[in-house]
Chains A and B, each alone.
Chain A
Amino acid sequence: GLCQPVWRFQVSSALKEGHVTPTELCQRCLALIKSTRFLNAYITVAEETALKQAEESEKRYKRGQPLGVLDGIPIAVKDNFNTAGIETTCASNMLKGYISPYNATVVQKLLDQGAVLLGKTNLDEFAMGSGSTDGVFGPVRNPWSYSRQYKEKSAPKSHSEDKESNWVITGGSSGGSAAAVSSFTCFAALGSDTGGSTRNPAAHCGVVGLKPTYGLISRHGLIPLVNSMDVPGILTRCVDDAAVVLGCLAGHDPKDSTTIQDNFKPFELPSLPDVSKLSIGIPKEYHAPGLSSEILALWSKATDLFKNAGAKVIEVSLPHTRYSIVCYHVLCTAEVASNMARFDGLEYGHRSDMNKSTESMYAATRREGFNDVVRGRILSGNYFLLKQNYENYFIKAQKVRRLIANDFLKVFGSGVDILLTPTTLSDAVLYREFIKEDNRTRSAQDDILTQAANMAGLPAINVPTALSERGLPVGLQFIGRSFQEKQLLTVAKWFEKQVKFPMIQLEDVKRHNHDVFQHEKSASFS
């Protein structure tokens, strides 16, 4: 059946050979989205337009003229990308009701290839967070919470209420996209990655999460967080699929002057990748405090895999790693302070009823529109940018950024091809545990292994590796040289083949929907 997981756009061949039609595929995905609504992965489902796109795709297949591998493939897009005619909220009250007048370049490119846009996925408000728990539409639930693998490992609970509170987070901020791919509602999804926001949820949801080199993929239409670090991220179920999507999206965009002008050639990965001639670096600083012993063991096992394949594996040092998070904190809040200034209610988005003066209207609009996390970052950012602080904080952070980027340059310059590190410190935590700490603390903890790659603009990818003792996904991260995505993905594909990460066994979804409903009903009577 089609709701069976399909690896590698095999579904493309199925479409080509007529075993399934684009409209059937679209309808199945839409039905699955409905039955997995409890995951809260989607903010908007664009059912009508998706079906129309599927119909158009079907006509092309009937004529024998599909646009390419992506024609008819259902995809989802994080709700911080502009999508023409479809609400784009960034999971914030500030943009509730905002209908984008244009498509982000990456969205347009996917649509031009015939992809079917199913909907917009949930995130932390304005992509600030590492749990996908802080958006106005509520938290996203990790599909693995409902997997047989997780349930088998959790202590049996008799009370149904307890069952409900045992779900784990997706990680963030692209949690909705990761959950959507992980639960088979789409074949690929767009996320964004500023400090790890694509790789982190990819690790927790057991999917491939690619952060491309800064400057490779257009940010035009991606509502910005940190202009010097943001990149669109790609989430798929296997590395080959990520390469296909990358091939569609990469390349210079005249509308984004930070995209490089080099010619980009889409590539196919070798079917039998060879890593024997490679040098793999293991940065010792990534053995960070708090790293779970499980993940440490997996990391070690992975290095053995490479050694046994003939690759050279050496320990390296990135001495400024532990300052990456602090540096990010200052640069991010500073850029956020600037980027969020555009939200004043005048041209789009929420507008307060206050109309005594322009400034008081702006202030009221922003008070009403932003959550605590966003407001906190704006205020911090403005503090670091004050005249008396600019040199000591903002410029200082920019200097530290150079040191961090130089650490990588040195290591890659010494003959190392790829770095291998953990992606997260542990497997996904329970939601009820996660919310005990505030957003900034959590982000600082969770971004520690992913953030430096954004600082240096390097490509990085999470590859699902194994299940933890709790039956939840754990991934490992590869970091490559600038614009060497082909090499990065080749190594990732080789590794993926070695570890044979298990498929999620989702319990009967219909039954769970009923349970959730019951819980909601009883909650409203108490």
Chain B
Amino acid sequence: QPLAVEVLDHLEQLALVDFRDAEGIERLRKAIQFADQLHEVNTDGVEPMDSVLEDRCLYLREDDVTEGNCVSELLKNAREKVEEYFVAPPGNIPLPKLEERETFLQCS
């Protein structure tokens, strides 16, 4: 079953990762085909399992500040910063639509 361009476009926007070429799209198609084998299994009445530790209580510690104050340490790895801020390009600008974006999907 071929994948609609709208779905592929939607995935590129959600993931903020591009398919890059036909191989990338084929990779997804094969992955879906592979995953479809799951539907052979009868799971009636079976509860989904999130974690193998589901029978235990999650450890929660007291809401006390025990460490921190390491601003300079954390800023060291950031490329763009000003004083104690990470600097991002302007936000609230959506990714260009498919027609305007530089993506392989335009050709398909």
Partners in one complex: yes
Chain A: residues with CB nearer than 8 A to chain B? 98-99, 101, 214-215, 228, 252, 254, 257-261, 320, 323, 326-327, 329-330, 333, 337, 344-349, 351, 354-363, 366-367, 370, 372, 375-376, 378-380, 382-384, 386, 392-393, 395-403, 405, 438, 440, 444, 456-457, 482
Smallest CB–CB gap between A470 and chain B, Å? 30
A400 contacts B38, C-beta separation under 8 Å: yes
Q: Are A323 and B37 in contact (CB under 8 A)?
A: yes
Residues of chain A contacted by B53 (CB below 8 angstroms): 214-215, 258, 260, 457
Question: Can you report 7 A-B residue pairs in the complex whose CB atoms are below 8 A from each other?
Answer: A326-B34, A326-B38, A358-B93, A366-B16, A372-B27, A379-B11, A399-B43
CB neighbours of B80 from chain A (8 A): 351
The reply to whether A333 and B79 form a contact with Cβ atoms under 8 Å apart is: no
Distance between A234 CB and nearest chain B CB, rounded to angstroms: 19
Q: How many A-B residue pairs have CB under 8 A?
A: 180
If A363-B95, A382-B15 touch, whether A345 touches B79 (CB-CB below 8 Å) is yes
Q: Which residue of A lies closest to B49 (CB)?
A: A402
Contacts of B49 in A (CB 8 A): 398-399, 401-402, 405
B107 contacts the other chain (CB 8 A): no
Asked if B84 is at the interface (CB within 8 A of a chain A CB), the reply is no
Please give the distance in Å from B20's CB to the nearest CB on chain A: 7
Residue contact A254 to B61, C-beta cutoff 8 Å: yes
Residues of B in contact (CB 8 Å), total: 56
Across the interface, name the chain B residue whose C-beta is closest to A397.
Answer: B38
CB of B33, distance to nearest CB on chain A (Å): 11
Question: Which of A261, A384, A399 is in CB contact (< 8 Å) with B47?
Answer: A399
Chain A residues within an 8 Å CB radius of B96: 360
Report yes or no: B31 in contact with A355, Cβ–Cβ below 8 A. Answer: no
Main secondary structure of the interface of A (DSSP, over half): helix
**Is there an interface contact between A375 and B56, defined as CB atoms closer than 8 Å?**
no
Contact residues in A for B11 (Cβ distance below 8 Å) = 379, 382-383, 386
Contact A378 B38 (CB under 8 A): no
Task: Check A254–B59 contact: CB distance below 8 A.
Answer: yes
Are B94 and A393 within 8 A (Cβ)?
A: no
Alpha-carbon distance A337/B16, docked complex (angstroms): 10
